[in-house]
Structure 1
Amino acid sequence: MATEKYSRWYFGGLASTMAASLTHPLDTLKVNLQTQQAKMSILELVLIIFRQRGLLGFYRGISASVMRQLTYSMSRFGAYEIGKDYVNTETFAGKVGLAGVCGVLGGVIGAPADMINVRMQHDVKLPPEKRRNYKHAFDGLTKAYRQEGIRRLFTGATIAAFRGGLITIGQLAFYDQIKSLMLSSSHFNDNSVTHFTASLLAGITATTLTQPVDVLKTRIMNAKPGDFTGLMDIIRYTAELGPKGFFRGYVPALVRIVPLTILTFMFLEQLRLHFGYEKIKPIVYKY
């Protein structure tokens, strides 16, 4: 018999928070590119944000980003880890099914913080008279609740849940599956090289799966009451740009999600190896 280290349920949320704190400027660029209708290069957007707010402009909404990770990622990673005791994740289908359900759960729980995060990041691009000027995440939640009601806090929760399911499949299910396949060979061990490679491939998969949904989610959450009549109206509005409209901001999303995924799993694996708990598992001999 041998022992193996396992993650505690809250490790994923902590790892995601640490990773998101480092990649937040990339998320700011992604949100601003997705919410604009006119064409603008990444360099032009960088210059606009820098001229208006300086370096701190790229960290606009960092408190909401942290809150989002502590709600959205904490719940989906935690549910996935706990769910492994009740769902057979030895198969890829089991991993996908569990990850999808946990991602939907996380998307709903994290919707209010996600909306505030989108609004605070987009605020820098608006004229001064149209800015919401949230001081921090809790200020944004309070103002949104008082001015628009509690239902407004969950605007876009449906599509956020759908997006959460897809990205959790792309990240957790694919990461576990790729890592498992790598470890089943004689060429890889449970080390940083394996963790980096598996998380890189999982990040690319997650970005590609979620980008069209992410564009729609961002537009819904940033919209003001009356801007759109419903989801189909936003889809038609986005479709005016052609198929590429649904992949607007793909490169910034790729540049953000891939490093975020890599950092999240690198942090998570270190937490698991150093602070995880042990389980006894049978030794599997390879012939």
Structure 2
Amino acid sequence: MPVLRNADYPASQATDSVSLRYAVAVLGAWAAEGATYPFDLTKTRLQIQSEVAAANKAGYKIENHGMIKTAVGIAKQEGVLKLWSGLMPMFQRHIIYSGSRLIFYEEFRNRFKDEDGKTSLKTASLGGLAAGALAQLVASPTDLVKVQMQAEGRRVLQGKPPRFTGCWQTYKLLYKESGILGFWRGAVPNVQRAALVNMGDLAAYDYSKQFLMREFGMADNALVHAGAAFAAGFVAAVVGTPADVMKTRLMNQPVGPDGRGVLYRGMIDCLQQSVKNEGIFSLYKGFLPLWMRLGPWALINWMAFENIMLALGGKTF
């Protein structure tokens, strides 16, 4: 596929339908996920290290390893393939999430663009917030399964008995523990995280791309896509990490007989305990692997989406 194809010279012509854009958005996300997923797993493990509430109430061992030591430890102790543990529910998530967020955002952008067809940064930011929140609300159960699978290896290494061996067993276990509504455990910080990340990803990518084309006269090609994707990944990591930490901890906590979490009463309690016990910088645990993931993720995702759309003769983002 030609990576320097631009919007003025697409490879072919095709009907640019909502279903086509939805499907291409999912394909782009799958490509990015497969390449960067180990960073997501490492980030999750970092976020549940030194979790004082878990040590006090669930008997988890407190650890304090860096990103590289954590990743190498997973590979050595659990096997290299465990760096992709939870990838299946992540793929399932993107079938719902990535297509929906793009369609929601583009619909919002089309409704609120000005007379010249331009979108302000404020409008783009609001569109990103809304699109991310709506898409994640629907997809939250798959994120819960992913976090549980990512954390299981650490739990087993600490002497706990294994609870499941695959994706569908995880779904069954969580349903048995908490019922249907239990699949939305941690949904509030998850939705907030997705809203913030998409404000960074969708809005920053869209605005940066239009800025480069408008101010520097650059063509709608891979160079612009790469520059805008870099900006999107960094902004998404900065604004999304605190909510991501809260989401991970709420989703990873054990549940009692009533199906409720035993460590935190909710997002605010999780935030307060984390800051009180571990300091304000606990909200940015896992920032480096998150950024190292979101940067390449945004690059691969947007390059794949834009080039596939150009190859099919559809409109770019």
CA contact (8 A) 2:128 2:195 kept: yes
CA contact (8 A) 2:188 2:267 kept: no
1:168 correspondence with 2:193: no
Aligned-pair distance for 1:132?
2.7
1:145 correspondence with 2:175: yes
Structure 1: tracts of 5 or more residues without a match: 280-287
Given the superposition, is the C-alpha separation of residues 9 and 87 from structure 1 closer, same or farther in structure 2, using an over 3 Å criterion?
farther
CA contact (8 A) 1:64 1:117 kept: yes
User: Once the two structures are aligned, what percentage of the paired residues are identical?
Assistant: 25
Moved more, 125-134 or 64-73: 125-134
1:16 correspondence with 2:47: no
Q: Paired residue for 2:39?
A: 26
SS in 2 for 1:11: helix
Which AA in structure 1 matches 2:278? Answer: L
Q: Paired residue for 2:144?
A: 115
Q: Paired residue for 1:96?
A: 125
CA contact (8 A) 1:13 1:78 kept: no
Alpha-carbon distance in structure 2 between the residues aligned to 1:238 and 1:172: 29
2:166 to 121, 125, 135: 135
Alpha-carbon distance in structure 1 between the residues aligned to 2:80 and 2:295: 23
1:183 correspondence with 2:223: no
Alpha-carbon distance in structure 2 between the residues aligned to 1:131 and 1:221: 17
1:264 correspondence with 2:294: no
Q: Paired residue for 2:54?
A: none
Aligned-pair distance for 1:123?
0.9
Alpha-carbon distance in structure 2 between the residues aligned to 1:169 and 1:67: 22
1:40 correspondence with 2:61: no
Aligned-pair distance for 1:274?
1.4
CA contact (8 A) 1:24 1:65 kept: no
Alpha-carbon distance in structure 2 between the residues aligned to 1:110 and 1:87: 26
SS in 1 for 2:47: helix
Q: Paired residue for 2:59?
A: none
Structure 2: tracts of 5 or more residues without a match: 1-6, 11-15, 51-62, 256-261
Aligned-pair distance for 1:212?
0.7
Q: Paired residue for 2:271?
A: 235
1:247 correspondence with 2:276: no
CA contact (8 A) 2:309 2:315 kept: no
Matched ranges for 1:194-233 at <5 A: 194-225=224-255, 226-233=262-269
Q: Paired residue for 1:282?
A: none
Q: Paired residue for 1:285?
A: none
Aligned-pair distance for 1:69?
1.5
